[in-house]
Structure 1
Amino acid sequence: MSYSIKRTRYKQFFRIMKITTLLLFVFIFCLRAEHSSSQNVNVTIKRSNTELEKVLNDIEKQTDYLFIYNDYVNVNRKVSVNLKKAPLKEVLVNLFEGTDVKYSIDDSYILLSAGGTRTTIPLTTQQGKTISGVVTDSNGEPIIGANVVGKGSKSIGTVTDVDGKFTLALDNSSTTLVVSYIGYLTKEVPVDNQSVLKVILSEDTQNLEEVVVIGYGSVKKSDLTGAVGSIQVDKVQGISVKSVDQMLQGRTSGLYMVQNSGMPGASSTVRIRGGNSISGGNEPLYIIDGMPVYPSASASQTALSPLNSIPTSDIESIEVLKDASSTAIYGSRGANGVIIVTTKKGKSGKTSVAFDAYWGIQNIYKKYDLLDSHSFEQLANEALVNSGGTAIYDESINPATTDWQGMTSNDNALTQNYQVTISGGNDKTTFLTSLNYFDQEGVIKATEMKKYAFRANIDHKISSTIHLGLSLTMTKVDNNRVGNSVLQSRLTTPPNIPVKKEDGSYTFSDDNGVITFDNPIAIINEKVDWNANFRTLNNAFVEWDIIKGLKFKSSIGIDIDYTTNKYYNPRTVYSGSQKGGEAKKTSNNTYTWINENILTYNNTWGVHSFTGLIGYTQQASTYDGFNAGSYGFLNDNLQMNNLGSGTTYSAPGSSVTKWALNSYLARVNYILNNKYLLTASIRADGSSRFGKNNRWGYFPSAALAWRASEEPFIKSLNIFSNLKPRLSFGITGNQDGIGTYPSYALLGSTGYVSDGQKVTGYYPSQVANTNLKWETTSQFDAGIDFGFFNNRLTVTLDGYYKKTKDLLLKVKIPGSSGFSSGLKNIGEVENKGFELAINATPVEGAFTWNTSLNLTYNKNKVLDLGDVSFIYPDQPGQDDTGTHLGRIVQVGQPLGTFYGYVYDGLFSTTDDIESSSQPTAKPGDIRYKDISGPDGVPDGIINDLDRTIIGCAQPKIFGGFNNTFSYKNFDLNINTIFTIGNDVYNGTRVVMENMQGSTNMFTTTMDRWSSSNQNAAYPRPLRSKAVMRVSDEYVENGSYLRFQNITLGYNVPAEFLSFTKYVSGLRIYASLQNFFTITSYSGDNPEVSKYGQDNLGAGYDAFSYPFSKSVLFGLNVKF
């Protein structure tokens, strides 16, 4: 039976929960309490002949209130005031007595309006109407303090309150409202016959400087010198993306993402500007709210991406750092790029509540056409006869067909997501908390993922110079899984075999006892494979403004990751019956802490602008793993809950590993005359992983940019709203994917028998290499940013060249060392290419169209492998069998290259065989091309020397094309992704077209060779041996265009919500996900990576978990 997710007691889990909750409440209660009523707030002010604006600032500093006023309030008026510990209302009366300014206090805001800008007109006025409404941004967030005036009149106007709402009385001369706010485009709204309006303001992209988060800071986008891609998170969050890593796909140039599997919670492969390493890690570094995080310690294919610990609705921004000038500040972890995720924080103002939910169903994208029982038995008989045997099935009988594929499919699998977010605060303290529940059933029965997440962000200003912050994230993920045996046997199990025997037990073989198999229904119903992960990310900081422009920030972060697995293969499953039931338990725990201390200084002197930082960071991590198992149980009652009841014990295992990293870093940003920009950085990393001779690595970078659009001779052209060429160069490193102690001499343990006694001994398991050092990547980037038509059209072009040297590879070493191989720095790989990103708003108004296109061309090549020109990653003997991936790493070729034979059709006659290189073949067998021999020319023999390059998994071009259309309250999002030039090795076809007759096959195999069908597509059935090798016959074009998401949404008008004072916004939507894919690939999904993030195993498909398509319905409610 499948293992249900229950309330399991974890002592460590509750200990962490208690400590985290205690820290949260201690932090909250240490904060200054919410502001009290205005009657209890006292203010001391002594000012003489001072501008009113400065006095208002004094009041804001001493209280929790913020002033909101429009242009009609004269804040330049000179005032004099001398009050000591006076009530706030007394101060306000003193300031505005005798003027036309009126004030009102609403929560933590004080709204000022001049007497000439009436907020209402008496209702007895017969010649006018009262208009009410709400003003929001494009995300539906209320805009506080927006100016709302009648067009052509300065005497009729108001400002929006803390909910973005307004009420305004118009006379007959005003038929249009003019709504404006700093940073947004002014909008004119015809009143017509409406009495309730919803006004959405768009950001002024020309005048509003977009801020981009970079390593250890942020910069205005116009001041950016490096290649940084920003994900438009607000565009993605309205389309019910199931995980954060899926928000990245097709959204920025240079980033290639593959969803490794359709299994719920499965990890993804992410590459930024190509793969750099052969045996090391190629995944980017992830930074969440300033804290580096790593994947969960799980060996399963559902290993959690570090991004999946955060609900998608909690993301504020995502930046992708691509060039070395952007990533070198992260030193030895920056070679593969950096992805920076910033989560949402609370904003001062009235406490708001948001509820987000969606529901949907999933189904397998493509089901295969398989042989029925009669056709299967016909082919099986032919295979036996062709192999010298005797037919075993009576073909005159038409037996029942068991639909194993359909019976294991979970049709209309449910997906549901719920999140509640509460945020608010004042000018001293802001907070945001969220609670999320996500449940996704898999499209294969007995697979499911449930995720529970809690997050809190709290910021508090102790004083005008000291700022505290705390970020907490806790995530619990439970997975029910099935192994590869189900994914394969659901297709290969013979259709003429029933699920159960007459006695009710599961069948493991056919009636003749010739074919044995793992019954997939038995596995689904009886086997237990349950994985649980608990992760908490905690980060606290203190920031001190020492003097003007000089700031110090110190933070400490803790990442605790617990992963457990419970496994039981019962006696009722064929593989379990061979051991009398088998039980296992594993635990993988990782504890990581980091402390960062950064000193930043920025200042401006005339035409000179300078920002510099220096810092010191230290990080350490401990991994603790354990596994135990037993088999030979009397029954299946206890499953894995009592390992001691097994009669035979598997050798238990445990390990503890530790690593540490100390770093020093510095960066300067200099701008001259607001046109000429320079960025330079350096980082020194000291790692415990490397030998004492190369423990420290140094990673510098520099970048230049010229804001040419600020030059008078460019401005005079009236063509560019932005023109900025960029150049950068830098060096980064890589220390991932090589283990914790790669440079040390290690001992292994083993058991042996001495004098009849079992003795444990130790032996050298790894040779030391004190000269082992980082893989280093040098990168040059040249780019240019264009802006046209007030930035309604922007274009970014980048060309880059990356070269990685000192690759960490296992190579042959002298036998005198006692080892056959060892890890050394040998080899070089390069990546070069270009990127294009286009963003445009072709139409803007009542109907608006936003479009974006990004594409990347990347060429990867191995430059050097030391003393050899190629490496076979597969073990000897595996390369010429069709069930294994033929792979090669060869100088001059890209990583992910397929290596095998060239298919040359079928032998039709004996004459064909006599003149061929396969003299032992028979008519109907596969013919392969004779390509080479010992002397480099064809030798009439088909052997290993006839293998050649037959394809490559890496795409030549990839990208995304995204469009958003909006008309009044409707919006339509269409998101597409594409690849061009990549190949997929279809290992599923290798098995499903093997023509052996012992497993089920595709219906297309009925077109097999026979004396009466010599032009057949498939060879003659043959039972005695595999008839297929790794060849280009199974390498298919994996290029595709996928409509990843189509979402239609509707924002309910404010007047429809006026019946309740609690709901301020409501959006409903429907989505189709992965419904349409245009491809020539014959499998269910060309976007596949059976071997996960392995650079050399990319593009391999062999009974992968099925890809799914979804229909979703959702809503967003704001209170």
Structure 2
Amino acid sequence: MKNFRIFLFNVILLVPALMFAQQTVSGTVTESEGNGGLPGVGIIIKGSTMGTTTDFDGHYTINNVKVGDVLIFSYMGFNTQEVTVGSSTTINVVLQEDSQALDEVVIIGYGTTTVKDATGSVTSVKAEDLNKGAIVTADQMLTGKVAGVTVVSQGGAPGAGSTIRIRGGSSLTASNNPLFVIDGVPVDGGNIDGISNPLSTINPNDIASYTILKDASATAIYGSRASNGVIIITTKKGTSDGFKATYTGNVSVSQNIRTVDALSTQQFRDYITTNGTASDIALLGDASTDWQDELFQLGVGTDHNLSLQGGNEHYNLRGSMGYTNQTGTIKTSRFERATYAIGGNTKLLDEHLKIDLNANLALVNNRFADTGAISSAISMDPTKPVYDSSSPYGGYWQWLQTNGNPIAVGAPKNPVALLKQRDNSAYATRSIGNIQFDYKMHFLPELRANLNLGYDVSSSDGHDNTYNSATASNVELAKLGNERTYEQSKTNLLWDFYLNYATDLESIDSSLDVMAGYSYQNFENKGSSVSDIQDPTITQFFDFYNVLNLQSFFGRLKYGFADKYLLTLTYRRDGSSRFVGDNKWGNFPSAAFAWKIYEEDFMSGSETVTNLKLRLSWGITGQQDIGPYYPAIAQYLGSTETAQYQFGDSFINTYRAEPFNTTLKWEETTTYNLGIDFGLWDDLLTGSVDTYYRETKDLLNFIPFPGGSSLSNAGNANIGTMVNKGVELSLNVNPIRKDDLNLDIAFNATYNDTEITKLTTNNDPNYEGVETGGFSGGVGNTIQRHTVGYAPSSFFVYEQVYDENNKPIEGVYVDRNNDGEITIADKYRYKNPASYLTFGLAANLDYKNWNFTMAWRANVGNYVYNNIDSNLGYGLQLLNSAFPEVISNGVENVLESGFVNGGAERYLSDYYIQDASFIKLDNINISYRFNNPNDKKANASLSLSGQNLWTITDYTGLDPEVGSGIDYNIYPRPITFMLGLNLTF
């Protein structure tokens, strides 16, 4: 009887379960935004072909569903969701919009926003999308990645910096560099003594993302320093999913693939024997030396990084250390760096208080090669040997007078000796960090208080010594040598505080976000140097101490209506110690409006458009970075000990009044921006188009002053206006999106045009403009002019005349004003160094465990003055009767042009202005990932990459990418191959 009761009890339990096993499940599928029902949602039982779709109101019914079955809900433009069937027969699902890119959080000034809610021109680039390969400095990661941003390397030296321009820059003689903000700290972008690139102190492996603020709406919150754009660097933080360790290491080799086309030994002999006198021919030696080969070497580099991170929902922490050692492709050049970083955050007081901490430390050791050795290698007689055992100058062959002293003028120095006999080394320490407190009020959670305390501190010391060098005037001084030491320290302290109130006003379907704050930043720069310390009679001491103080009040209001119409207003009032009186303060407002068109009802049924947003903005930003710390303050300069005035037996220091201008004030840039963001076909194609117009007035300009009107014949003044306009296009195509195969292609294009519209207080049509662009070979001459109606730094040259064979006729130029003679009045503006079109193309292909990336870049319309040809490509360079004891080499252009004389007009011929448009294959990277099936966190990957692989150009010089537009003495950019290993566990 007992067993029967147990059996009956089990049947009672089992029958409902059997009935439920074949139950019918129903429910409603809605979207997260607005809770509206979604029609046409596909629902399928996982592992079967059984399924259904939702009706017009989002309702569905599906039969024959068992407990434990998994229902898959999928709908274009939304994240697919899986739900396991339990005891309930009603399952309602809320699908989230598949807008990972749109919901991506981006850092903006004093806060964050999302891509979909951004009203300004903001571009964010994550670490995984940055350039890969043997990246030593942080700026190299951005090359070609963002529309409107150009990154031009300053040469191939290890650790060398780059010239970064956002939308072409907006100043003439003031800084055109963007403002860099690292983890909330606006850092000092100026040079550190001995460190050619301030960003070389940041380990690229610690960077999580870049955010580029381009238009005034996005940048105006930084006011005083934002006229050239803002680049926000965010470093990596810990995660809350437990402990993880990562090791990244690589080895690389670099080699110069091109050298300057100096005459070969045989070409040189032929030229001397054909054109030289008997005494010239007698100077020929018996050697055959390729001097450039003697300078260059195979560069070898290695990089190692270890990071540890971990945490939970209450705190996270990440620490890293890295070591980089890279030798350059020119002998004696080397870059060595050790970095340490720690970052973390924690939440206290029931998660109302969030504390973020970041600290980065870099120790850098640089040895700089004497780049003057490059020009010496081109001009040095290739029939001479490198070494001479009888030479009193370290055993290196040199051009000497009969008395054994070096030939000081007209004779190139042994380029190998220039490298080996000079030790130019620097040692620097730099630390950047901050601690940020963000407190959400207990009594009013919508109100937050944020305090950010930051610092950027660096110190450096170095020496520049030469030993037994023929650069001295005689043997005795050469043995004495030349020694210079220096030291510098820079301190940048930041104190930011702001209140932020954000709330949803549901009664009027609106959102409100208001922020107001104050910023204090103080810069100190001090140091000293001692030159010629080996000779007390000529030893020179130099000390300096400078302070710059910036203070600001700022505020921002963001208002959204119906999550469709967004308005952002910002205002910043900045004060700078560079100016005095009423000019000390500047006001920088901005306004922006965005319309999320894709949220409109008339777009809800579109299967084509997944994102469409219109952006309009206007704003004013400022500039005060003109180099001098006290350009508007009266100062006196004390004389050195070697320039004292003698009174009887006493020597008295004198003081000289320094030039200053009390009328100096902020340079202001007004920007208008129209932009459209879009996504099509389930974000198969996404992108944005921006067009902008910028006008800079009260240009901080360095101009000549009339005689007697100032303490100097030139100085800083607010004179001139400049207009900058352009169009930017960014496209991203994701044509293949499968579990084991994904292809992503990114393309960007930029058109930019810059024109100077005013340079004088009155419109003087005869004003030729401001000279700029000094070059080698012409004493005091310049090749460029800032002129009204033209782009900055346009070339100012004579128009060369050619014969019927298109060969230039020496000394013959076009008489453009038809006055019967060639004078300076016949010079004209011809081209400029800035390209008007730039392109970037990057492809990322994932196939199972394989990854392949490739990056191309192109510039169109940039021109370069080939100063190597103009200075080393004429007959008198090789055979100069003024220096009968010397013969020098030159470049092959001497054979092409047939030029003999080195007159000033020849240097200024447009013959040497060359089209330097180019297409570059910057980077190829292929990697394979080894997964650990027993540990999802553990994996390893191997990668092989190449950089600077291929350049297509008509430019005849080494490299068409010359930021200044004047090509001379450039450290060649090598081709680099790298093998890398990444371990995660």
1:605 positional shift:
1.6
Please state whether the residue corresponding to 1:446 is helix, strand or coil: coil
Identify which of 287, 304, 307 aligns with 1:418: 304
Change (3 A) 1:760 1:1086: farther
Determine the C-alpha separation between the residues in 2 that align with 1:720 and 1:1021: 66
2:981 corresponds to: 1115
* 2:243 is the counterpart of 1:364: no
Pairing of 1:274-293 with structure 2 (within 5 A) = 274-293=168-187
**Following superposition of structure 1 onto structure 2, how do residues 342-381 of structure 1 map, counting pairs within 5 Å?**
342-380=234-272
Deviations 1:564-584 (A, max 9, x none): 221111123434857441100
1:1064 and 2:938 correspond: yes
Secondary structure, aligned partner of 1:453 = strand
Amino acid at match of 2:789: G
Residues 736-768 of structure 1 deviation map (CA, whole Å, 9 limit, x = unaligned): 124111111121223343245463444444344
Please give the secondary structure, in 2, of the residue aligned with 1:873: strand
Aligned sequence identity (%):
28
- Structure 1 segment 906-917 matched on structure 2, within 5 A: none
Letter in 2 for 1:838: L
Specify the SS of the correspondent of 2:483: strand
Note the 1:297-312 alignment, pairs <5 A. Answer: 297-298=191-192, 302-306=195-199, 308-312=200-204
Give, as a single letter, the amino acid of the residue that structure 2 aligns with 1:830.
V
- Counterpart code for 2:422: K
1:416 maps to amino acid: T
CA distance in 2, matches of 1:488, 1:939: 39
Query: Aligned partners of 1:176 and 1:995: how far apart in 2?
Result: 85
d(CA) in 1 for partners of 2:148, 2:797: 30
Q: How does 1:194-593 map to 2 (within 5 A)?
A: 204-205=98-99, 209-236=103-130, 238-298=132-192, 302-306=195-199, 308-380=200-272, 384-385=276-277, 390-394=278-282, 399-411=286-298, 413-464=299-350, 465-503=352-390, 505-509=395-399, 516-546=411-441, 547-575=444-472, 579-580=477-478, 581-593=481-493
Corresponding position: 1:1019 with 2:898:
yes
Matched, 1:629 2:568: no
Q: Indicate yes or no: 2:537 matched with 1:648.
A: yes
Distance in 2 between residues matched to 1:187 and 1:1050, nearest whole Å: 30
- In the TM superposition, 1:894-905 aligns within 5 A as 894-905=791-802
Which deviations, in whole Å up to 9, do the C-alpha atoms of 1:955-982 show, x marking residues without a partner? Answer: 0101211111121111110101110011
Greater displacement, 835-844 / 756-765 = 756-765
Aligned to 2:892: 1004
Contact 1:279-1:738 at 8 Å conserved across structures: no
Structure 1 CA distance, aligned partners of 2:941 and 2:777? Answer: 57
**Match for 2:454: what amino acid?**
G
Choose from 818, 825, 828 the match for 1:948: 828
Q: Partner residue of 1:86?
A: none
Amino acid at match of 1:839: N
Name which of 634, 649, 660 aligns with 1:745.
Answer: 634
Shift of 1:384: 4.6
**Separation in 1 of the partners of 2:721 and 2:272?**
50
> What amino acid does structure 2 have at the position aligned with 1:256?
T
Contact 2:255–2:976 (CA under 8 A) maintained in structure 1: yes
Task: State how far apart, in whole Å, the 2-side matches of 1:892 and 1:447 are.
Answer: 43
**Using the alignment, how far apart are the partners of 1:978 and 1:409 within structure 2?**
28
Q: Is the 8 A contact 1:497 1:510 kept in 2?
A: no
Among 768, 787, 793, the residue aligned to 1:870: 768
Taking the aligned partners of 1:758 and 1:1044, their CA distance within structure 2 comes to 64
Give the counterpart letter for 2:786 in structure 1: V
Distance 2:288 2:81 in 1: 67
Partner secondary structure for residue 169 of structure 2? coil
C-alpha deviation, 1:895, in angstroms = 0.8
- State the alpha-carbon separation in 1 of the partners of residues 706 and 894 from structure 2: 52
Distance 1:817 1:253 in 2: 44
Matched residue type, 2:424? D
The structural deviation recorded for 1:463 is: 2.0
1:605 pairs with one of 469, 491, 505:
505
1:316 partner letter: A
Aligned to 1:13: none
Quote the offset at 1:244 in angstroms. 1.4
Residues 749, 760 of structure 1: 8 Å contact kept: no
For 1:757 and 1:184, how far apart are their aligned partners in 2? 91
Q: Which residue of 2 aligns with 1:722?
A: 611
Measured against aligned partners, the alpha-carbon deviations of 1:316-357 in whole angstroms (never above 9, x if no partner) come to 111100000000000111101000111111111321100001
Q: Could you say which residue in structure 2 is the equivalent of 1:69?
A: none
Give the letter aligned to residue 294 of structure 2.
Answer: M
The alignment's TM-score, normalised by the length of structure 2, stands at 0.84
Deviation at 1:204, TM superposition (A): 4.4
**Which amino acid letter does the alignment assign opposite residue 318 of structure 2?**
L
* Deviation, structure 1 residue 398: 8.0
Question: Which sections of structure 1, spanning at least 5 residues, go unmatched?
Answer: 1-115, 118-148, 155-172, 189-201, 631-642, 913-922, 1008-1016, 1090-1097
AA partner of residue 495 (structure 1): P
Tell me which of 917, 920, 933 is aligned to 1:1042.
Answer: 920
SS of residue in 2 equivalent to 1:693: helix
Cα distance in 2 between the residues matched to 1:290 and 1:816: 44
Query: Equivalents in 2 of 1:1047, 1:975: separation in Å?
Result: 9
Alignment partners' CA distance in 2, 1:408 and 1:479: 18
User: Structure 1 residues 1032, 347: CA separation in 2 closer, same or farther (over 3 Å shift)?
Assistant: same
CA–CA distance in structure 2, aligned partners of residues 758 and 864 of structure 1 = 52
Q: Closer, same or farther in 2 for the Cα pair 1:980/1:761, shift >3 Å?
A: same
CA contact (8 A) 2:240 2:311 kept: yes
SS in 2 for 1:870: coil
Q: Sort the Cα spacing of 1:564 and 1:358 in 2 relative to 1 into closer, same or farther, 3 A.
A: same
Contact 2:667 2:698 in 1 (8 A): yes
SS of the residue 1:674 aligns to: coil
What SS class does the counterpart of residue 819 from structure 2 fall into? coil
Aligned-pair CA distance for 1:1006: 6.8
Among 890, 908, 917, the residue aligned to 1:1030: 908
Q: Give the AA of the match of 2:415.
A: P
- Seen in structure 2, the aligned counterparts of structure 1 residues 1025 and 1032 have a Cα distance that, compared at 3 Å, is closer
Q: Which amino acid aligns with 1:815?
A: G
Q: Tell me which amino acid in the other structure corresponds to 1:865.
A: L
Structure 2 gap segments, 5+ residues each = 1-19, 22-44, 51-66, 83-95, 880-886
- Counterpart CA distance in 1 for 2:556 and 2:186 is 19
Deviation at 1:371, TM superposition (A): 2.3
Query: Could you tell me whether the CA contact under 8 Å between 1:930 and 1:946 is conserved in 2?
Result: yes
- Return the offset for 1:299: 5.8
SS at match of 2:251: strand
> Is the contact made by 2:644 and 2:654 (CA closer than 8 Å) also made in structure 1?
no
TM-score, normalised to structure 1, is 0.74
Question: Could you tell me whether the CA contact under 8 Å between 2:854 and 2:925 is conserved in 1?
Answer: yes
> Which residue of structure 2 lines up, in the alignment, with residue 145 of structure 1?
none
Q: How far is the alpha carbon of 1:485 from its aligned partner?
A: 1.8
Distance 1:229 1:344, change over 3 A: same
Task: For residue 940 of structure 2, give the secondary structure of its aligned residue in structure 1.
Answer: strand
What SS does the corresponding residue of 1:336 show, helix, strand or coil?
coil
Letter in 2 for 1:1118: T
Mapped to 1, the partners of 2:306 and 2:144 lie a distance apart of 28
For the structure 1 residues 483 and 680, does the alpha-carbon distance in structure 2 shift closer, same or farther, using more than 3 Å as the test? same
Q: Which region of structure 1 is more displaced relative to structure 2, 528-537 or 227-236?
A: 227-236
